[in-house]
């Protein structure tokens, strides 16, 4: 089993909690609000971020609190699209992307649901799929948003180049050059 996680593209590290996400969001101009109280059914607590230049504008990026790994891809899409709504970047994946990763011991004590993406099977934590986001993205899969600003292709799950043409994918070890031990940094 594998789960999805939000990755910080600049250092290629997965983000597991809001504690790791908040410094990145603050550099982008967002402020974290206190976690919202769980809904009346005792569900998941969510944390929203407010963009400094548009403090009262919507949409507000939000993710379940405190862990942000193992979510449904529609939850990640809603978060990334809300961030990109304010930043208006051509390709938000230069900052964040979603990628599958192995499960760990902490994950074994949670309830999971299957999420099928193409030929891959991922799992997501119970209660972390916002039904409004799920309806929006499942009804408009592969289409641009209502205002035509965003293309879901830039928000998609990274699949190790499975959709790329031959010659476009370069192995990581070909990009990273090991420094010569005799040369100082």
Kindly give the confidence (pLDDT) of every residue in the chain, 185 residues in length, as a single tens digit, with 9 standing for 90 and above: 788 999 999 999 999 999 999 999 999 999 999 997 765 555 788 999 999 887 677 889 999 999 999 898 889 999 999 999 999 888 899 999 999 888 876 666 666 666 765 566 788 887 787 777 777 777 655 444 444 444 444 454 554 444 433 334 445 555 555 455 554 43
User: What are the helix (H) ranges across 32-180?
Assistant: 73-87, 131-139, 172-175
Closest by CA position to 95, among listed 161, 175, 15, 2: 15
Strands 120-125 and 2-8: parallel
Q: What pTM value is reported for the model? A: 0.71
Task: Give the model's pLDDT for residue 157.
Answer: 53
Element (H, E) at 123: strand 120-125
The partner residues of 4 in beta bridges, in order of sequence, read 100
Kindly give, in sequence order, each residue whose CB lies less than 8 Å from that of residue 152, ignoring residues fewer than 6 positions away. 77, 137, 141, 142, 143, 144
């Amino acid at each position: 089993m594998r789960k999805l996680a939000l990755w910080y593209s600049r250092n290629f590290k997965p983000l597991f909690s809001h504690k790791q996400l908040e410094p990145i969001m603050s550099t982008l101009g967002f402020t974290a609000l206190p976690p919202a109280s769980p809904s009346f059914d005792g569900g998941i607590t969510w944390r929203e971020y407010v963009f400094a230049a548009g403090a009262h504008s919507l949409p507000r990026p939000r993710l379940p609190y405190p862990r942000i790994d193992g979510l449904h891809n529609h939850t990640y899409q809603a978060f990334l699209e809300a961030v990109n709504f304010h930043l208006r970047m051509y390709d938000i994946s230069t900052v964040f992307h979603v990628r599958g990763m192995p499960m760990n011991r902490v994950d074994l004590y949670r309830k999971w649901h299957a999420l099928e993406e193409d030929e891959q099977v991922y799992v997501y934590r119970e209660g972390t799929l916002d039904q409004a986001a799920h309806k929006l993205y499942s009804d408009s899969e592969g289409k641009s948003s209502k205002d035509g600003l965003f293309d879901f292709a830039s928000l998609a799950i990274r699949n190790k180049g499975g959709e790329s043409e031959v010659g476009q994918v370069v192995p990581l070890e070909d990009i990273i050059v090991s420094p010569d031990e005799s040369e100082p940094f």
